[in-house]
Structure 1
């Protein structure tokens, strides 16, 4: 039997790319999302074998949904080998306009749901003597706040700590828990739209291009693979170097662009 992965947020963007990567690697995929037409279209495009991949509709803000989708996937398609928590929401809202309802929904989808899917997966794995891997999709916003994203940045910072905490407690059971933190990735998402002006401002990085969903999917697949079997509790930043530093600041001393390595053998006392 092929390996089995559950991917939340699988209808589009990074989640869809992750689902496609695992399908291409021969895995069975259970995709979870709230948007039925998009989810079914994404999964139907993965393979001609209509029995290989399964769609499950769920609003992960519902506190019962994350556990339910894991149990349902396990029972319907067979034991899970991995869970990828790619679902996330980012309803831009200025700090003075934040209210409890908006705040709570972001935390519910972005933090509570990954905690519940991870717990449900680990419980089933332990009960059946299996091991497995969880990968959470974080964001550079976990490290750097920005206007309109207090709720989102907080949720991603919490998700990274959740990743470490779960890794510490589940490691003895053979459950590895890691995260991938993307830089700006170009996605066509009606759920989380951004303006081109915003995209241009946040997508500057040392490697000089915007990220693609496939960049993130490749990192996720590697973390789940045997090549990463001694890695847990890690946040892998896949951002073109954006978290290392910025290339947008002007030189802060004269002649910066002309600086050269010093001559290791300077001429002493030269005369004309």
Structure 2
């Protein structure tokens, strides 16, 4: 039985990740900005088979939030797995960007996962224990889109930080990886998307949009013993959307090709 700390566990991918670990009988500490949905996640986790499910309501933008959260989780039991799933992605045209919007996205999406990894590593090393870290990245780390300059930047930086931390922490028995979802259908009032947008980005080579369960299975696998020799990697779980430009027309017709032969 492991002790798993999941941020952003109040809804969406974070909730499904918590439930996936719960089904394996792990003990959970689930964290989120909002208390009510977090309590619902904890109740669902216990129903799913979690050994325990503690809750921590936290604003990850605070200067000491990462230390406070890790201290509280570690007081329950040493943390074996950290999953940083909390994230925000406001749609802001580039010419309308301001410092507050930029800082919000980078603070939640990059700064918080990095500092939580630092906090976990310090505890684990002091206790002579290993640990596994999985951060939730995004396909936006590789491909920008209108209105998502801070989001794309935050996820690209998170992937670089994943590699950097894996390099320094590996000799201490701490693995650090990321899972990068493609478009996943979630019910989120914090990060809503329009159906127009979903239809535009949700058509993948595998023919469907992703689900939180698709991502949760990948997180549980890469955090576990079957992936024990994997660190510093970004696992793209996107239905093949990162393989290329699926929506572009063929650049020449069969007739044109025959004429040029």
User: TM-score by structure 1 length?
Assistant: 0.91
Distance in 2 between residues matched to 1:181 and 1:154, nearest whole Å: 14
**Matching residue of 2:188:** 189
Post-superposition offset of 1:247: 2.6
Give me the whole-angstrom Cα distance separating, in 1, the residues matched to 2:170 and 2:188: 35
Q: Is the 8 A contact 2:177 2:232 kept in 1?
A: yes
Moved over 3 A (4+): 48-51
Would you say 1:178 and 2:186 are equivalent positions?
A: no
> What is the aligned-residue RMSD (CA, Å)?
1.6
**Which has more helix, going by share of residues?**
2
CA shift for structure 1 position 251: 1.9
**TM-score between both structures, scaled by the size of structure 2:** 0.95
Q: Distance in 2 between matches of 1:151 and 1:245?
A: 23
SS in 2 for 1:184: coil
Q: Which has the larger radius of gyration?
A: 1
Cα deviation for residue 237 of structure 1 reads 0.3
Per the alignment, residue 104 of structure 2 pairs with 105
- Partners of 1:228 and 1:32 lie apart in 2 by 25
Alpha-carbon distance in 1 for matches of 2:9, 2:117: 17
Which structure 1 residue ranges, 5 or more long, are not aligned? 260-272
Asked whether the equivalents of residues 178 and 234 of structure 1 are also in contact (C-alpha less than 8 Å), the reply is yes
How many residues align? The count is 256
Alpha-carbon contact 1:206-1:246 (below 8 Å) kept = no
Equivalence for 2:216: 217
- Structure 2 residue runs without a partner (length 5+): none
Deviation at 1:246, TM superposition (A): 2.8
Q: CA 1:50–1:212 in 2, change beyond 3 Å: closer, same or farther? A: closer
Cα deviation, residue 201, structure 1? 0.7
CA distance in 2, matches of 1:67, 1:183: 30
Cα distance change, pair 79–99 in 1 and its aligned pair in 2 (3 A): same
* Aligned 8 A contact 1:63 1:113 in 2: no
Contact 2:12 2:186 in 1 (8 A): yes
Q: What SS is found at the alignment partner of 1:230?
A: coil
Q: What displacement does 1:51 show?
A: 7.2
Match of 1:54 in 2: 54
